[in-house]
Each structure stands twice: as structure tokens, then as C-alpha cells.
Amino acid sequence: MERLWAPWRMAYIKDAAAAGDSDTECVLCRIAKEADKEEENLVVARGKHVFVVLNRFPYSNGHLMISPYKHVRDFSGLAPRAVTELVEYTQESINTLRRMSNPDGFNLGANLGRVAGAGIDFHLHMHVVPRWSGDTNFMPVLADVKVIAQALEETWRELRSHWQGG
């Protein structure tokens, strides 16, 4: 396969751009501050330096993002303890998804910069994307449709009940 097309990502990119490409406020900063809106914002867990949120525009069911509270573009702006906690919460995200839905594998990563594919390129975040054999099909290619097997709110409740770290 030469290319993986994800045309639905443009809605996410446009939403992130509309939220403002500023160094003071962004969608992840807003979510970081709104501790009283965990379900509305789909926050799965919070630590001292990072939080875990269910992606509103997932590639697959259970697609999580781990983000520092601090508004930084890349790892160089984080204290060592924050980097450590980001990795710990990435690990617990994987463990939680394994307990919850037993995926066959995972995609992990951070897209640093717009040209690297970041929809939110001004606030660092890691992606944990659970994968299953045969989880891609003709729907995204022919109909510009993603097939997600579970409502985000339902996935959020299940993730919260399985989360053990933090």
C-alpha cells in the first residue's frame, strides 16, 4: 500500500485550527482546565502532569490521546518528570485497552508539526490507537465513512471503569 487516506481527518484539523493556533489557548488547554467536565470532554484519567482523553475523531474504537497540561509543541518544553508521566500514562492506556477490548496491536506516536500530520500542532499529545485484524475496510475509501463500533460516551465509560493507573 503506497498511501493511507484518511479524508475524515480534515474535519478534525479544521476544528483544531478554529480553536486557535495561539500559544495561550487551545482545545487541549481548555480540556486540561475543565476538570468538572470529564464526561463532556471524554477525559479518561488525570495525573499530576498529563491527562488521557478519548479522541473525538478516532481512527478506531478506543483511540486515546495523552497530553501534558503544559502548553508545549514538543518534548523539549517538558520537565523530565512530565515526560516520564506521559510515558507511564501511555503504558496504562495500552494496558487498559487490552483489558477492555483485547486489540491485536497498537499504533503509538506523536505528530510533531503540521507537516508531520498533527491536527493540533501547537500542543504536544501522544496517540494510542488500538488495532484489530481486518479493522480497515472499503467504507473510508468508497464512502468517506469510518466505522466505529461503539458510541464515544459508551467507550469513555468503559475505559474509566477499566483504568487502574494514575
Rounded to whole angstroms, how far apart are CA atoms 105 and 99? 13
Please report, as a single letter, which amino acid is at residue 53.
V
Catalytic-residue membership of 125: yes
Which element (helix H / strand E) includes 106? strand 105-109
Rounded to whole angstroms, how far apart are CA atoms 31 and 13? 17
**Catalytic position from the list 49, 63, 71, 125:** 125
Q: How many CB atoms lie within 10 A of CB 91?
A: 13
Rounded to whole angstroms, how far apart are CA atoms 146 and 158? 21
Catalytic residues: 125
